Amino acid sequence: MIRFSANLGFLFADRPLPDAIRAAAASGFHAVECHWPYDTPVRDVKQALAETGLEMLGLNTRRGDVARGDNGLSAIPGREAEARAAIDEAIDYAATIGAHGVHVMAGFDQSIAGGHTFIDNLDYACTRGARHGLTMLIEPLNEHDAPGYYLRTTEQAADLIQDVGASNLKLMFDCYHVGRTEGDVITRLRTLLPIIGHIQFASVPDRGTPDSGELDYRAVFSEIRALGWTKPLGAEYKPAKATEDTLGWLQST
C-alpha cells in the first residue's frame, strides 16, 4: 500500500497549521509536511501531531526577504550568515517537533560562486543536522515557476550530493518539477533512487490534483511501489477548491 503525506503549504492552507494537521488526519493522510511553520509555536504543532499520530516529514528553510524577491539563501554569495541562521532555525524547529528532514533552499543565483557557497552551506547543514538525526534535502525547481533558481535539474543535484559527500544529504524528487523540466519521470526515479530522500507529486503542467494532466500517476505510483519505496509520498499540489473536495484521487489510489 502506498502512503501519502499532505503538504500543508498548499493543502488545507486556509487554516492554522495545527488545524491543518488535524484535517489531514481526518482526510486519511498518513503524514504531513510543511513549508515555513515558524510563526506557529512548536508546542501547538507537537500537540497536533501527538493527537493525530501523524509524522511530520519535513519543512523548508526560510526564503529570506520575500518582498525583495528571495526564495532561499544558501546559494547566494555574501549572505552566508543569513543562510546559516535560517539553517539553524529550521534544524532546531524540526528537531523539536520530531520532523524527519529539512529542505535547504538555494535561492536565485546561478553563478559558479553560488555553487561554491551552496556546497559550503550544505556541508554546514549536514553536519549540524546529523546531530539530530535529520536528513537534509535539496530540490531542483523548474524554470517556469522559479526562473533563475540555482538548482534546476536532478543531474545537478546528484553532482552536489556527491561533492558534499554527506550521508544525510538527499534529493527531494518532485515529480511535478522533474516532469516540467526534464521529463521521463519514471526512468529518473529508477536511476536516482539511491539518493532520493523524499518524493512529491502534482499534475503536470498545472500543479493540480494527480488524477489530471500529462503525467500518468497510476503508472508512476505503480513504479514507486515496485521500487520498494515505503515512505509516504508528498501531495504538493494547488487545490482549485477546498482541499477536502479535491481528494477523490486519494480515495481511489
In a 3-state reduction of DSSP, which class is residue 108? strand
Single-letter residue type at 124: Y
Q: Is the link from the previous residue into 37 a cis peptide, with omega within 30 of 0?
A: no
Q: Which of 89, 182, 223, 236 is catalytic?
A: 236
Q: How far apart are CA 237 and CA 239, in angstroms?
A: 6
Give the three cell numbers for residue 32.
504531513
pLDDT at 143: 95
Identify the H or E element spanning 58.
Answer: strand 58-60
Q: How far apart are CA 182 and CA 98, in angstroms?
A: 33
Q: How far apart are CA 232 and CA 141, in angstroms?
A: 21
Give the three cell numbers for residue 68.
525583495
pLDDT in tens, the chain (253 residues): 899 999 999 999 999 999 999 999 999 999 999 999 999 999 999 999 999 999 999 999 999 999 999 999 999 999 999 999 999 999 999 999 999 999 999 999 999 999 999 999 999 999 999 999 999 999 999 999 999 999 999 999 999 999 999 999 999 999 999 999 999 999 999 999 999 999 999 999 999 999 999 999 999 999 999 999 999 999 999 999 999 999 999 988 8
DSSP letter, residue 198: E
Answer for the pair 60, 105: CB distance below 8 angstroms, yes or no.
yes
Is residue 244 annotated as part of the catalytic site, yes or no?
no
* Nearest partner of 48 among 85, 12, 83, 72, judged by Cα: 12
pLDDT at 90: 98
pLDDT at 253: 86
DSSP letter, residue 224: H
Identify the H or E element spanning 172.
Answer: strand 169-174
pLDDT at 1: 83
Is residue 236 annotated as part of the catalytic site, yes or no?
yes
Q: How far does the chain reach from its first CA to its final CA, in angstroms?
A: 9
Burial of 174 per CB tally in 10 Å (0-12, 13-18, 19+): buried
Q: Which of 80, 139, 143, 155 is catalytic?
A: 139
